[in-house]
Amino acid sequence: MNAPTSFSRGVGTGGRDVNWLGVLLGVLAGLLCLRVFALYVNGTDLFFDEAQYWLWSRDLAFGYFSKPPLIAWIIRGASELCGQGEACIRAPSPLIHAATAMVVYAIGRRLYDGRIGFWAGITYATLPGVSFSSGLISTDVPLLFFVALALLALIRLKEGGGWDWALVLGAAIGFGLLSKYAMSYFLLGLAAYAIWSAQGRALLKSAKLYAALALGAALLAPNVIWNMQNHFATLSHTADNANWKGSLFNPGHAAEFLLGQLGVFGPVLFAALVVFCIAWLRDPERRARAGDAERLLHRHRDQRLLLGFEEAGGLVHRVHRHGVAGQGIQDLGRGQPGRQQQERQQPPPDPGSGEVDPAAPAHADWRARRNSANSRTPTPVAPLTASGASRSE
């Protein structure tokens, strides 16, 4: 595969020279301004999960009961920069999604040309799931960024890139795992690519790949140590949500999951994806003629489907409970009870019991906690307690 001669420019319709990167930057800047403005005019309180992440951010640690720590670190950085309001807490989401669209552009530009990269970036930025996710703060936002960045770094290493790209790959894997353990699906995609592609197998001989994996493991190590010190709380919680002991075959919920993906992708793109996948599976000659770029994307397409674009504000447990591998946007239709309703449904623990519920902001006035955080040092809240099971994770 020949590397592109220019990162920003390419041939457009009618053979015209087009600055695809400039056009993409203009569109993304417009979308970003619109989404940030929407955050500031949106009067919606933090959802249950968002409030829990915010509470974690007041007591930084290397791990929490139901998620790795990066989401809390991001929220803490955002709140330190611009305040404790809902808009500031959610502001990283549209910013990170815009950055992810840029990385998607770079992938398309590297594998094909600027026009393909432009439309890939625009498609990602305007997906219904991404548009909705830009109004929330969830673990999937940084996860998708690091998945895309890791894929770009892998492509550059495959092309003979230097040690700088090995560092990028390692950092993307490490911080991706600190965002959400679903980043491990990227490693499954990498293994599949190495099995079914000659260029992928050649990567297995590269010291840069193993250096990248070692860096990723080193970045994850503090979270592993935290889990060891806390009886593997996060991993146990994730395993409990997966419900491997229950029935894993449930056609009704599998169909619900697929319909949820339609909501994430939109009807046109989802139909195109289904048609393309069916055509690919039914045409062995096409698979035999496929270039290495197609093989690479197909192997990582599989792990992206496992991720399921879990962008419904972290509302993952419903699909996990029924054995579906990923999560679509269908949980949005379930609706989250408002803060006042949750207060009625979930009374706070007895203050005299010594129990601290990590989901306290969902059934107490998180605004009061937010305001007190601006005026004094917050009382540390234990991220792990006997009653700490998250009802919405």
Per residue in 106-137, pLDDT (tens digit) is 999 998 889 999 999 999 999 988 999 999 99
Judge if 347 and 255 occupy the same domain: no
Based on the domain organization, do 269 and 343 belong to the same domain?
no
pLDDT at 178: 96
Does a structural domain hold residue 172?
A: yes
| Closest listed residue to residue 106, CA positions, set 96, 116, 92, 93 | 116
pLDDT, one tens digit per residue, over 268-324 is 787 887 787 787 777 777 666 556 556 566 555 544 444 443 333 333 333 333 322
Residue 48 lies inside a defined structural domain of this protein? yes
Q: Which residue has the higher pLDDT, 333 or 68?
A: 68
* Same domain? 149 vs 136: yes
Same domain, 182 and 255: yes
**Is 182 within the bounds of a domain?**
yes
Identify whether 55 is part of a domain. Answer: yes
The pLDDT of 135-143, averaged and rounded, is: 94
Q: Examine residue 71 and state whether it is found in any structural domain, yes or no.
A: yes
Same domain, 343 and 330: no
Q: Return the HEC string of the chain.
A: CCCCCCCCEEECHHHCEEEHHHHHHHHHHHHHHHHHHHHHHCCCCCCHHHHHHHHHHCCCCCCCCCCCCHHHHHHHHHHHHHCCCHHHHHCHHHHHHHHHHHHHHHHHHHHCCHHHHHHHHHHHHHCHHHHHHCCCCCCHHHHHHHHHHHHHHHHHHHCCCCHHHHHHHHHHHHHHHHHCHHHHHHHHHHHHHHHHCHHHHHHCCCHHHHHHHHHHHHHHHHHHHHHHHCCCHHHHHHHHHHCCCCCCCCHHHHHHHHHHHHHHHCHHHHHHHHHHHHHHHHCHHHHHHCCHHHHHHHHHHHHHHHHCCCCCCCCCHHHHHCCCCCCCHHHHHHCCCCHHHHHHHCCCCCHHHCCCCCCHHHHCCHHHHHHHHHHCCCCCCCCCCCCCCCCCC
Domain count for the chain, please give it: 2
For residue 106, give both structure tokens.
């770079």
pLDDT of residue 225: 94
Amino acid (1-letter code) at residue 18: V
Q: Which residues contact 152 (CB under 8 A, 6 or more apart)?
A: 103, 106, 107, 110, 168
Q: 76-100, pLDDT tens digit by residue?
A: 999 999 988 999 999 999 999 999 9
Nearest Cα to Cα of residue 194 among 183, 184, 203: 203
Domain housing 365:
339-374
Same domain as 344, residue 330: no
Output the CA angle 188-192-198, nearest 5 degrees: 140
Yes or no: say if 380 and 57 are a contact pair by the CB < 8 Å rule.
no
The predicted model scores a pTM of 0.73
Residue 9 lies in a domain: no
Axis crossing angle, helix 207-229 with helix 140-158, rounded to the nearest 10? 160
Q: For residue 381, tell me if it sits in a domain.
A: no
User: Can you give the pLDDT at residue 336?
Assistant: 38
